[in-house]
Amino acid sequence: MTKTAEKLASEIHSLPDVEKLRLVDAILTDLDKPDPEMDRIWAEEARKRWAAYKAGRIPTVSYQEVMDKHRSS
Q: Write the pLDDT tens digit of every residue in 19-64.
A: 999 999 999 999 988 999 999 999 999 999 999 999 999 999 999 9
pLDDT at position 20 is 97
Single out the residue of 31, 32, 8, 30 nearest to residue 20, CA to CA.
8
pLDDT at position 43 is 98
pTM of the model: 0.50
Local structure of residue 62 (DSSP, 8 states): -
pLDDT at position 48 is 97
pLDDT band at 73 (very low <50, low <70, confident <90, very high): confident
